[in-house]
Structure 1
């Protein structure tokens, strides 16, 4: 009996200890730590919204975007109040360096180009991507945009050669074949008057998926395209899940949508594995040319696995699983952002027909009606100005989000570990102090002397990021956008359809909420 009593007392004390530990940990997470971080930031003169336990500013955030997204805009480029009303309201009320709350985590909004430059240069290595939701990881577990540290540096070094200028020139057929195919489909759609209506958001998503499939997988293009279609369904299901309240572990509950996400993930991975293994075999036997992104990735990875000349140490290449994840990344980063960019370009040129005509005259003068080549594309000054100005007004990614993993001094402020950062690209691109009173007007002439001289501040324009983590596919995206816009201008003029509603909003990227209906006229 004494032994049993001892065991029961021990269990009771253990249970009490675990209960007290759980309560203390919850108190620290929900109240003590957030309040300490809040006090730390306020002591430095940083103002912001008061801390609301657990939920933070989520209720106000949802209220503002629900209200903003409920009605369309007039045909204006003053889109910030509709697209990101919460960040705009916070900055207007509390200043260019202000604080808000994402649950129990404080988020610093930093709208100061000089401070942003220091953060993105990340010389101390203390800033990185915020902790990734398990729901997002199903889309990409170890791609370049997810990784940090040595793994990121290794992947970047291996992938970088695939995006060099000479390699881009080899991908021109992927651009022209896909664009030509789209143009021919549009010609079949026109009526006896030579006109038709099309939703550019749908059409240009199909185009960029076609381009990245050909550029990434070459002869395995059809298989690659099927993979991307499955991945698009997976993205949709993942975004649906993220819009609800996140319950840890719920993704493992075998609901219909959870089972479908798991099946899609396994199917995509299996299909990619097969393509990659076939590519590796054909490269070993010399049966295929290394002229697509996958081939270049595998070639560069093999080269990086050889001993380095100086030290004799091996610089490891990528595992098969890592290559699979980078192939998923081609789609996530290379398809969605470029289709968004092109869609807004077509819409903006419908709103500003005088610039559409200027671009067309330049294209016809330099390229004629023949299929454009890389040389022709590289001399298109007006087209480049237009594309940059659209990127300024409608950046595909409206903000960059980082996390401070160590205490770091930036300019006059010290950012404690555990704080999220919001670098609001959209707000900076529309800032009157940086760009002038006409900041929200479409004026491609700003870029007449190039990006460096478009604004007095060096980092007032950063649609592809800045510093060591600048988007590796920037040149690829610009080349693709130039080819697509050039070939559309050669064959069609266009205007907004009466059914078009100007409704920019964000779902991962800046998209037209109700489509991009355009009336096309064959030339």
Structure 2
């Protein structure tokens, strides 16, 4: 009798555990799906436990198998069908708004201009960064402004945002021009060393050096040579993390080996140690020179020290995490955008000529400054068109931290929203029949007249979480194009292989090789 009673208890406990698991793994997701389905939002049918992950893996594998290395294809700018084939397939089947799941997590794909506009206008803290992606990116970004939510994010934004207003960025123009000089001299030396006529150069790594130098000197008071180890380790950490499919976010898909996990933790510790050394050195300089001009690092220090809610350990995390965010976001995305700009201009020498003519008219024999940069309309158009075709950030990603309503759609708590930026930027209904072509003239009247729905142009994101460094990025890109095109002419190298790849941002998978010569 006692044995029977014991077995009854065991069966009961197992039953409760199984039901609980079934409820969390299926029923809760099913309830969320039904809330979306009754609003007319459909999507692919999910499987038990893994949702639509098996289908996503299958579609991705088929896309990779069908991709051929075709040199004639290098001017085909629409890469979404090879990089994100499942989103393209489902969009054709279900339209610009649909729902899909990855395991127990429900997602809402949003690529309708009107709903993107609603996201842009939403100021609620209930719409934050997806928690599971934030968790995956914690080694790279900590709990800094790029991955934090709610009041913590608002506090960080209050401290950091003013340092990237245009009046502050204008002061940095001279520093940016100075930072470009070593790159220009390096390319001139390469031409000389390769015979004095033309040089074959891979430009993306050199551009990373430039943007890293700018962010290090402008925001942290140190040169690139001093911060080089930080940037190098951040790049290595980014590459390691991007090997896992953090977009999927479910056990069994994209998990790294223990060796890779250890590598991530080791890099994380090294980066934090290097940043903290920089912080302490900056503190010493501030004490030694009371009149030292405050840079972004100084303001982050003050913000952390003056916040009564932060203890000693929390203050250190606040400082280090936001330095990691600015070091990474401040240079990586801009360098990639500059690489895409040069790739496009290498394909279109007529736009090199137009930019060169404008720079000569506006700047003459002088280096560009804050006033002349603002007058370079053609350069601005080229940058805007490059960011339309190749926005470094592939997605706007948000999670409903509480139930929220956008337009006519009620989004249940926990649903993750995804807007695929390159798809929105190539929508023929929004941009016209030439949406896949490089035509900077479309921006001749500004963004408001470039397309049918201006809210569909979102290279820097949407809403309150719009990229804080967008002014800095735009000015850096203008300076890169201005100085390079005024010194050199260039075309694509035979070594170049067009291979956009998603590694947390969309970057040239095999780099950008160009043939460059002096004017």
2:213–2:223 contact (8 Å) kept in structure 1: no
| Corresponding residue number in structure 2 for 1:55 | 50
Q: Which stretch shifts more, 291-300 or 368-377?
A: 291-300
| 1:299 positional shift | 4.9
| 1:85 positional shift | 1.9
| Corresponding residue number in structure 2 for 1:160 | 161
| Corresponding residue number in structure 1 for 2:465 | 469
Counterpart of 1:205 (choices 191, 204, 208) is 208
1:246-284: CA deviation from partner (whole Å, max 9, x where unpaired): 659x9999x443333222222211221121122123223
| 1:15 positional shift | 5.2
Structure 2 residue 31 is matched with structure 1 residue 30: no
Structure 2 residue 349 is matched with structure 1 residue 353: yes
Q: 1:174 to 1:225 in 2, by over 3 A?
A: farther
Counterpart of 2:399 (choices 383, 391, 403) is 403
SS of equivalent to 1:500: coil
| 1:294 positional shift | 1.6
Equivalent runs, 1:310-329 vs 2, <5 Å? 319-329=315-325
Q: Distance in 1 between matches of 2:409 and 2:487?
A: 54
Structure 2 residue 347 is matched with structure 1 residue 344: no
1:344-402: CA deviation from partner (whole Å, max 9, x where unpaired): 11011111111111011111221234332222211110000100011111111121111
Q: Distance in 2 between matches of 1:505 and 1:20?
A: 46
SS of equivalent to 1:219: coil
2:208–2:332 contact (8 Å) kept in structure 1: yes
| Corresponding residue number in structure 2 for 1:309 | none
1:53–1:104 contact (8 Å) kept in structure 2: no
Unaligned residue ranges in structure 2 (runs of 5+): none
1:104-123: CA deviation from partner (whole Å, max 9, x where unpaired): 22211112122122234334
Q: Which stretch shifts more, 473-482 or 104-113?
A: 104-113
Counterpart of 1:389 (choices 363, 376, 385) is 385
SS of equivalent to 1:139: helix
Q: Distance in 1 between matches of 2:255 and 2:38?
A: 40
Q: Distance in 1 between matches of 2:79 and 2:159?
A: 39
Q: Distance in 2 between matches of 1:34 and 1:315?
A: 37
SS of equivalent to 1:49: coil
1:3-53: CA deviation from partner (whole Å, max 9, x where unpaired): xx7xx9998777555433321221012221222222222222212100112
Unaligned residue ranges in structure 1 (runs of 5+): 306-313
Equivalences, count:
507
Q: Distance in 1 between matches of 2:61 and 2:293?
A: 48
| 1:83 positional shift | 3.2
Q: 1:432 to 1:347 in 2, by over 3 A?
A: same
Q: Which stretch shifts more, 351-360 or 14-23?
A: 14-23
Counterpart of 1:264 (choices 260, 264, 267) is 267
Structure 2 residue 288 is matched with structure 1 residue 285: yes
Equivalent runs, 1:98-113 vs 2, <5 Å? 98-113=98-113
- The Cα RMSD (Å) is 2.8
Q: 1:274 to 1:439 in 2, by over 3 A?
A: same
| 1:125 positional shift | 3.3
Q: Distance in 2 between matches of 1:430 and 1:245?
A: 27
Q: Distance in 2 between matches of 1:154 and 1:451?
A: 31
